[in-house]
Structure formats: structure tokens, C-alpha cells
Amino acid sequence: MSVATETTPNATAGETYRVIVLDDLAQEGLDKLDAASGIQYDIRTGLAGAELREALAGYDGAVCRSGVKITAESLEGNSQLKAIVRAGVGTDNIDKVAAARLGIVVMNTPAGNTISTAEHTMALLLGLSRKVAPAHASLKAGKWDRKKFKGSEVYGKKLGVVGLGRIGQEVASRAAAFGMEVIGYDPFLTRERAEAIGVRKVEQVSEMLPEIDYLTVHTPLTPETEGLISTEQVKLLKKGARLVNCARGGIYDEAALVAGLESGHLGGVALDVYPNEPCTDSPLFQMDNVLCTPHLGASTEEAQVGVAVEAVDLLVNYLQTGEIQSAVNTSVDPSALKSVKGYADVAYRLGMLLGQWHGGAIDKCELGFNGDIAEKDTRILVSAFCAGLVENFTDEANIINAELLCRERGIEFTRTENPLPGTFSSQIVAQVSGDGNTCSASGTVFGKNMPRLIKLGDYRTEAYMDGNLLVFHHQDIPGIIGYVGNVLAEEKVNIAQMAVGRQGPEAGGKAVGVLNLDSEASEKALSRVTENSAIDSARLIRLPRAGDLPDWLM
Ligand code: NAD
Ligand code: MLT
């Protein structure tokens, strides 16, 4: 692959985002980059290893196809890159977990090449059945051989389709138009949907193998689909079955294909994709009844323009507005996040508060969503809670990587939803535990965007989750608030707001005080507070000022 570099002429220093184009992209996509304001781009194809890592470190966004391999190593230490957009569907050439860990959103353009790939699948299926390629080669070599290239009809034959997503469904409808009977396997496809698209659904791949004449796969390459068709499955296939793969190399085990063709058990194999690409040397290329193309499924004028334009739009929009669309490494839906903005802020603040309050290694978080909020997308609120929790130990946390960072530290989450309202129309109840210590707190939103702490441990309160909090546990007796106020006054710390809460309804028991301070209380001030024998503990919790939102929530 050649290496080319080109820089947009319209980029203005100082107010630009830098974008790197890592694979060949249709001109229409580049034209969009040219036209976008505040975007400067370089085309640098053929990068790998250290060269790729160094290049990526200098860009805010990247656009690629399947050529470049963006590994964990190539992202290592990258604090600049914000998004990678794949012009196409498959993102198996990008280490999405490594990207998420660094807060880099990975997006793709899932629908742009569906039709092209479905059509290519049909082209391979028909080409294989009618021996188009060898007949053409023979004629070009000057031979007129009509016997050797006798093929077979697809009409009336059975086609097995594994993976009935976008492409699989388009293939199924085209196959039906050719008079084929379609049998499908996809664990995520309902029987009703299968019926609606004219597919007979089976519960396992092995169930369809003995009866089908053709097999085509349209799944992603995952640990479950890698080697989906190996020696054992080839043996189950009907003698003479023909196999097509326009999805990803590795779904069919190549050695099993070679053995199946050699023994004559397989009638033919057509491949567009290979375990290692580019691939110019495969034992299959030399065999009869094999039809291969160099990953051309999406190589049509229409698909390439479509995915390039969509990829550039996604990237530019994300860089300019922060709006995430079609992300594949984060479950955060920006519009859903917006719809729970106030509660996301509360969840985030609860995460920060409990992380600091607990102070040790947390291994379990239990989050409950009660009242109206239970009807919303509470997974986002879990992510927001995680962002608050991890903010205590890393400055690289955001809504995209936070949950992953927590899980990587062995923190487990449980989430419960109860739509029945309690004292408040909505509340988030959070509990963290680990190291033999458990801490809990509940929060809600007053008005539209005023985060409130309504319970801390066993104490009901109504405190502002705003800035520096001095939290002190004490005996519920006269004079305590005055005492703490005096200490802070002597330490020159101003109190902005205050709230107290009791464990039970009666005076004289245990209580908690939450003071919002205009500046941080020093260690000396905290230890002076606890000099009073009626005060059990005093701690400072650092939260953002009310209204100060993390970037991802702005
Ligand atoms: P899709 O996400 O719409 O569909 C994939 C389907 O596979 C889903 O319905 C999913 O439920 C199903 N699936 C996942 N795991 C499965 C399993 N273990 N068993 C059975 N089904 C399973 O994706 P798509 O757009 O249809 O793309 C399908 C594949 O085609 C992807 O691997 C993509 O990279 C590849 N692709 C190749 C080309 C090409 O140029 N050859 C072009 C586009 C897409
Ligand atoms: C895809 O996943 O979109 C295809 O494999 C096509 C491509 O690589 O561009």
C-alpha cells in the first residue's frame, strides 16, 4: 500500500481539529472534510507499528476502512485522539476496548454497504454455481469447452444463512427471488421476524447443515463465530454443498475447506474475505471449484461514496458538537443522556462522593433507581456514576470509558429499577462496598438541575451536592453546629449552605451534618472539629460546584 500525505488548504491554525485519513477514502468523503470548517486533515495510508502510534498521537479524529490495524499498541499513551470512525461495518481492525479505555469513541457506518455486499454474495453464489470464472479464463485461453463448465441451478435449492442482520436479510430476500428456500440461524432473530422475511429459523447451525445446498455467513467475527464451520461441521454438510463467505475471514476454518474440497465432499467455496488480509497466498487459490475476490463486498461506487460521506459526517459532527452516533464501543446514547441530564449529574456526584467516603478498594456497587427515573435508560446513569467513582483515581475518566475502567478494577455492578415513587418522585440509591466497608447515599434532583443528597448512610438529610462538603457525624445535642461554625470561622472557612439529618425522629441520638464550604477545610480544621467529644468524625468531600458539569454532560 502506498503512503501519501496531503493537507487541506483551508485549515486555520488555532481553531482546528486535526483528522487523519488512514485508508483510501472516496473523494466525496475528502470533499466533505475540505468543506468542514475548523477541520484540517492529512491522508496517511499504509501506516503500522510505531509510525502509526506516533501519527495517531497528533490527531483529534481518524477515519479508516479495514486496511489499517489500530491495535492497543498503536493507541498506547494517546491523549489526543477523540474518535475513530470506520467507513464501513466491520470494526475488527480496531481495538475497541483499548480505545474505550482511553475515552476514544469508535463509530461505524453500518448500513452504507449492505446492498453492495448482499449483491456481491449473490454474485459469488451464482458465479460459483455456473463456474463463471474458470469458463471465462478458459475462453480467454482460446478454448471453447461447453462440457467442462456445466453448472447447477440455484432455483429450488436450500440456502442456509447464518447471521440475519442487515446483509443476511438482504441476501435472504434475493435468494428467495431466485426461488431458493432459505433456512436461517441467528440467535437474536425472533421467529416472527424470520417468518416475516420468509426464512425458516433453526435453533442451531448444525440443524441446517445436513439439508442445505448452499451456506452463506453474515455474522461479525467474534470468539463465537471464529471457526463456526470447521471439520466437524463440514462433515455434517450434505455432499456437494457450496459455501460462500462475504463476512469475515476465519468464520470458515480454511484447513477444513481445503480438506472438504480435496475429498470432494464440498461442491465449491467462494470467498471474499480471509483471516489475514491482504491475502495473496492461500492453498484455496490453486484449487478447482473455488471462486475468490479480494474483499470486494463493499467495493462499489455507491457503497464507497456512501460510507465515506457518512463517516466524515459522523466524525466532524462529533468533534464539533460532541454528539455520538453509531458508536460501537460505548452504550451511551447522547440523546438518552440529554434526557436524564439532571440525574446523570446526581449519579456522577454520588459516584464521587461514595468513592471518597469509602476511601478504600471498592469491589461492588449496587445502584437502585426509584420512581419516574426507573422508566428511563438507567444504564447511562450507571455509566455516569462510574465516571464519578473513577474520577477519584484517574483524570482520564469520561462517560465512555468509566464503566470499563471500573470493571477492569474488578468492580461489579447491580442495577435495580422500581418505578413506584417514594418520598421523592425519583431517586437514585447507591451503595458501594469493599475491604469490609459499606457506604451508601441517595440523591435526587430539585427543580431541573439542583442535585440534592437526600440520604447519607442511615441519615435522612437534604443537602446540596455542591463544591466542598464537610460531613461530620455527631451526637444530636445543642451546641454542635455552633461549635463547628466557630472552628471554621477561626480557620477562615466560610460556610455557604448547611443541612443536618437525624437517624430517627427523636433528638438526642446520632446525627449527620453536611456543610458546603466556600473553600477547602484544612486537615488542622478537620481535626479541630473532632476535638469535640460529641463529634465522631469529620471529613471533607470534594465535589464540583453545582452547575459545573463534566465535558461529557455539557
Ligand atoms: P449486522 O450487525 O447487521 O448483522 C450481523 C448479524 O449476525 C446480527 O443479526 C447478529 O445477531 C448475528 N450474529 C452475531 N453473532 C452470531 C452468531 N454467533 N451466530 C449467528 N448469528 C450471529 O451486520 P452486517 O452489516 O449484516 O454485516 C455482517 C458481516 O459482514 C460483518 O462481519 C461485516 O464486517 C461484514 N461485511 C463484509 C463486507 C465485505 O466487503 N465483504 C462488507 C460489509 C460487511
Ligand atoms: C466492511 O466491514 O464494511 C467491509 O468489510 C468493507 C470494507 O472493509 O470496507
Q: Is the CB of 298 under 6 A from ligand 2?
A: yes
Q: What pLDDT shows up at residue 6?
A: 35
Q: Is the CB of 90 under 6 A from ligand 2?
A: yes
Cα(26) to ligand 2 centroid in Å equals 13
Q: Is the CB of 411 under 6 A from ligand 2?
A: no
- Give yes or no for residue 333 having a pLDDT over 80: no
Q: Is the CB of 86 under 6 A from ligand 2?
A: no
Q: Is the CB of 88 under 6 A from ligand 2?
A: yes
Q: Is the CB of 117 under 6 A from ligand 1?
A: yes
Instruction: For helices 114-129 and 132-140, give the axis angle rounded to 10 degrees.
Output: 70
Note the ligand closest to the C-alpha atom of 165: 1
Q: Is the CB of 65 under 6 A from ligand 2?
A: yes
Over the stretch 247-277, which tens digit does the pLDDT of each residue have? 999 999 999 999 999 999 999 999 999 999 9
Distance separating alpha carbons of residues 413 and 100, to the nearest angstrom: 18
Q: Is the CB of 328 under 6 A from ligand 1?
A: no
Q: Which of 93, 124, 167 to mutate to test the pocket of ligand 1 (most atoms within 8 A of CB)?
A: 167
- Give yes or no for residue 189 having a pLDDT over 80: no
Over the stretch 494-525, which tens digit does the pLDDT of each residue have? 999 999 998 878 888 999 999 999 999 999 99
Residue nearest to atom 5 of ligand 2 (CA): 90
Where residue 427 falls among pLDDT bands split at 50, 70, 90?
A: very high
For residue 213, how far is the Cα from the chain centroid? 37
Note the ligand closest to the C-alpha atom of 271: 1
Q: How far apart, in Å, are the Cα atoms of 376 and each of 47, 341, 349, 379?
A: 43, 11, 19, 9
Q: Which CATH number fits domain 3-110+302-321: 3.30.470.20, 3.40.50.720, 3.40.50.300, 3.40.980.10?
A: 3.40.50.720
Which of 232, 234, 227, 237 shows the shortest CA–CA distance to 159?
Answer: 237
- Give yes or no for residue 309 having a pLDDT over 90: yes
Which of 241, 230, 237, 172 shows the shortest CA–CA distance to 208?
Answer: 237
Which whole number is the average pLDDT over 525-552?
94
Average pLDDT, the chain: 92
Q: Which of 106-115, 123-132, 290-299 has the lowest mean pLDDT?
A: 106-115
Cα(424) to ligand 1 centroid in Å equals 45
Ligand 2 atom with least separation from CA of 65:
9
**Residues facing residue 430 across a β-bridge:** 367, 441
- Give yes or no for residue 51 having a pLDDT over 60: yes
Ligand 1 atom with least separation from CA of 299:
40
Higher pLDDT, 424 or 324: 424
Note the ligand closest to the C-alpha atom of 297: 1
Which whole number is the average pLDDT over 163-185?
96
Q: Per-residue DSSP letters for 350-370?
A: HHHHHHHHH-S---EEEEEEE
Distance separating alpha carbons of residues 276 and 526, to the nearest angstrom: 62
Cβ atoms of 328 and 96 closer than 8 Å? yes
Q: Is the CB of 297 under 6 A from ligand 1?
A: yes
Cα(163) to ligand 1 centroid in Å equals 6
- Give yes or no for residue 4 having a pLDDT over 80: no
Question: Do 114-292 and 3-110+302-321 have the same topology in CATH?
Answer: yes
Cα(113) to ligand 2 centroid in Å equals 8
Q: Is the CB of 160 under 6 A from ligand 2?
A: no
- Give yes or no for residue 222 having a pLDDT over 80: yes
Can you identify the CATH homologous superfamily of domain 114-292?
Answer: NAD(P)-binding Rossmann-like Domain (3.40.50.720)
Higher pLDDT, 4 or 147: 147
What is 334-553's CATH topology? 60s Ribosomal Protein L30; Chain: A; (3.30.1330)
Where residue 80 falls among pLDDT bands split at 50, 70, 90?
A: very high
Q: What pLDDT shows up at residue 168?
A: 96
- Burial pattern 232-266, b for ≥16 Cβ within 10 A else e, equals ebbeebbeebbbbbbbbbbbbbbebbbebbeeeeb
The catalytic residue positions are 248, 277, 295
Q: Is the CB of 164 under 6 A from ligand 1?
A: yes
Cβ atoms of 107 and 83 closer than 8 Å? yes
Q: Which of 333-337, 408-412, 506-510, 527-531 has the lowest mean pLDDT?
A: 333-337
Contacts of 222 (CB under 8 A, 6+ apart): none
Q: What pLDDT shows up at residue 324?
A: 79
Highest mean pLDDT among 45-59, 92-106, 189-203, 355-369: 45-59
Which whole number is the average pLDDT over 100-108?
89
Residue nearest to atom 9 of ligand 1 (CA): 165
Coil, helix or strand at residue 530: coil
Q: What pLDDT shows up at residue 1?
A: 30
Where residue 111 falls among pLDDT bands split at 50, 70, 90?
A: confident
Ligand 1 atom with least separation from CA of 273:
41
Note the ligand closest to the C-alpha atom of 121: 1
Q: Which of 25, 64, 66, 94 to mutate to test the pocket of ligand 2 (most atoms within 8 A of CB)?
A: 66
Where residue 10 falls among pLDDT bands split at 50, 70, 90?
A: very low
C-alpha cell of residue 194 = 424470520
- CB atoms inside a 10 Å sphere around CB 197: 17
| DSSP-derived secondary structure letter, 277 | S
Residue nearest to atom 4 of ligand 1 (CA): 165
Query: What residue spans define the domains of the chain?
Result: 3-110+302-321, 114-292, 334-553
3-state per-residue secondary structure call for 198-250: CCEECCCHHHHCCCCCEEEECCCCCCCCCCCECHHHHHHCCCCEEEEECCCCC
Note the ligand closest to the C-alpha atom of 277: 2
Ligand 2 atom with least separation from CA of 297:
6
Q: Which of 1, 24, 65, 68 to mutate to test the pocket of ligand 2 (most atoms within 8 A of CB)?
A: 65
Q: Is the CB of 66 under 6 A from ligand 2?
A: yes
Which of 458, 456, 457, 430 shows the shortest CA–CA distance to 515?
Answer: 456
Distance separating alpha carbons of residues 405 and 402, to the nearest angstrom: 5
Residue nearest to atom 41 of ligand 1 (CA): 297
Q: Is the CB of 248 under 6 A from ligand 2?
A: no
Contacts of 280 (CB under 8 A, 6+ apart): none
Cα(209) to ligand 1 centroid in Å equals 19
Query: In which residue are the cell numbers 483524570 written?
Result: 395
Distance separating alpha carbons of residues 234 and 221, to the nearest angstrom: 19
